[in-house]
Chain A
Amino acid sequence: GAVVSQHPSWVICKSGTSVKIECRSLDFQATTMFWYRQFPKQSLMLMATSNEGSKATYEQGVEKDKFLINHASLTLSTLTVTSAHPEDSSFYICSASGGLVYNEQFFGPGTRLTVL
């Protein structure tokens, strides 16, 4: 089946630093990758959509200068949280599409970010 990995699985950083999260599609080429954020006891909220080689499309209310997304290849997308603050602490999940079923997304295991 289609497998998506994320690295790291968890990260703790100091306020003001930047953190990069990687999302990889391991056994298929992902035409589109998505980044979601999930706060405790809440559902997933889409942050941005990225296509390989193109600029990401951000959802309303998501600061593109704070959450930098790079989709340099068909198997790798990165999310960089710049100048992280405690309110950025959350569970970040990526997904990738490009399988046989149109629009089906395959989800990574998530990255727990804690900003002190």
Chain B
Amino acid sequence: KQEVTQIPAALSVPEGENLVLNCSFTDSAIYNLQWFRQDPGKGLTSLLLIQSSQREQTSGRLNASLDKSSGRSTLYIAASQPGDSATYLCAASGTYKYIFGTGTRLKVLA
């Protein structure tokens, strides 16, 4: 049974810092690993999707990497801004369904 864990659970950083969010999964037989952002009371915004054959994906200040063999993915946020404050979720895609991680609540202080 796939289990997805995110560390840290919460993070507070000053504006401008580079930061790394971690996602671990127990079953390496995944199709995709996807990172999402969720603002309070809102739905999910897809940030990056890494297919199992890929090692990383980049979009603007975001970079996500995937290491299937070790069961890990990281989301790197460069030059963080207060607008980046949100909960970040990773999801591992198996045969047909997503298993979501526990989330990291990020607060970027101005």
The interface of chain A, by Cβ under 8 A from chain B, is 32, 34, 43-46, 49, 91, 93, 95, 101-110, 112
Contacts and interface: CB of A to CB of B under 8 A. Distances in A.
B44 interface: yes
A107 B93 contact: no
B101 A104 contact: no
B52 to A, nearest CB: 10
What bracket does the count of chain B residues touching chain A fall in? 20 to 34
A79 B93 CA distance: 23
B43 A49 contact: no
B58 interface: no
7 contacts: A43-B101, A44-B44, A44-B100, A46-B98, A103-B93, A104-B49, A105-B93
A108 B43 contact: yes
A106 B89 CA distance: 14
